[in-house]
Amino acid sequence: MTDASDPPQVVKRHRLSTRLWHWINVVSVAIMLMSGLMIFNAHPRLYWGQYGANPDKAWLELPDFPGWITIPSYYSPADARVWHLAFAWVLGTAIAAYLIWSLINGHLKRDLLPKLSELSPGHLWQDIKDHAALRFPTGEAALAYNILQKLAYGGVLVVLLPGIILTGLAMSPGVDAAWHWLPELFGGRQSARSIHFLCAGGLVAFFIVHIAMVVLAGPVNEVRSMITGWYRLPQPRAKRSEDHE
């Protein structure tokens, strides 16, 4: 379809719901993470099970997170809780609305649900090799998510974010009184707190890879597509190297 002489083809890539949700998350996830690290500093030890305190065995004990990565930057779990408990509503409402809307408009099924064939070890391995060699799809193929993207985005959408919200609620004595099953689902309140922290780590790992991929794939085009929705299809490699000559 694209002739070598055509100007770069610009297509609508991201729906308004995706763009809105993305930027709400940029703000709310950053605030939740940084205020969460300050709250963690109040007791930087993690346990498995129902209970866990200083006399009990911690599976992880960390030094305090430094002020440049916490909100607020000075020691105050109380102020951090004001941020965390307010922006929890932003994060939670946004993902609930986005999940429901993505089910209705077919985004989840069409773009994010991996096909069985994509999950074959051969296909996965090929995609891992392509990523490692920085061979990104070009032309129309760049419009569909590859399997590693589907697993990463889908993992954030249906595992990490719902997981971090449910484990957060499971730490609340009020919610636990209403829903005894919720902390049990994770093996107890202290297990829920550990999983909450691990989900946060998963989101940080996603963030690092995500930013690296955006930079490698062309940050201006990628960021513009997430703001305006419009995305310039990457040209096939052969043609691009001709251009440079």
**Residues making contact with another protein (CB under 8 A):** 31, 34, 39-40, 42-43, 45, 47, 50-56, 67-68, 71-74, 76-79, 81-83, 85-87, 89-90, 171-180, 183, 189-190, 193
Decide if 32 contacts 88 (C-beta within 8 A).
yes
Nearer to another protein (CB atom), residue 75 or residue 153: 75
Minimum distance from residue 71 beta carbon to another protein (Å): 5
According to DSSP, residue 48 is labeled -
Residue among 146 and 190 whose Cβ is closer to another protein: 190
Q: Measured from the CB of residue 140, what is the shortest distance to another protein in angstroms?
A: 27
Of 15 and 210, which CB lies nearer to another protein in the complex structure?
210
Q: Using the CB atoms, write b or e for 41-66: b if 16+ within 10 Å.
A: beeebbbbeeebeeeeebeeeeeeee
The two structure tokens encoding residue 198: 């691990």
* Shorter beta-carbon distance to another protein: residue 8 or 66: 66
Residue 184: is it exposed, middle or buried by C-beta count within 10 angstroms (0-12/13-18/19+)? middle
> Minimal distance in Å, beta carbon 159 to another protein?
23
ω into 8 cis (within 30 of 0): no
Nearest approach, Cβ of residue 134 and another protein (Å)? 16
The answer for residues whose C-beta is within 8 angstroms of residue 59's C-beta and 6 or more apart is 46, 47, 48, 194
Task: Decide whether 56 or 140 has the Cβ nearer to another protein.
Answer: 56
Q: Least distance from C-beta 60 to another protein, angstroms?
A: 12
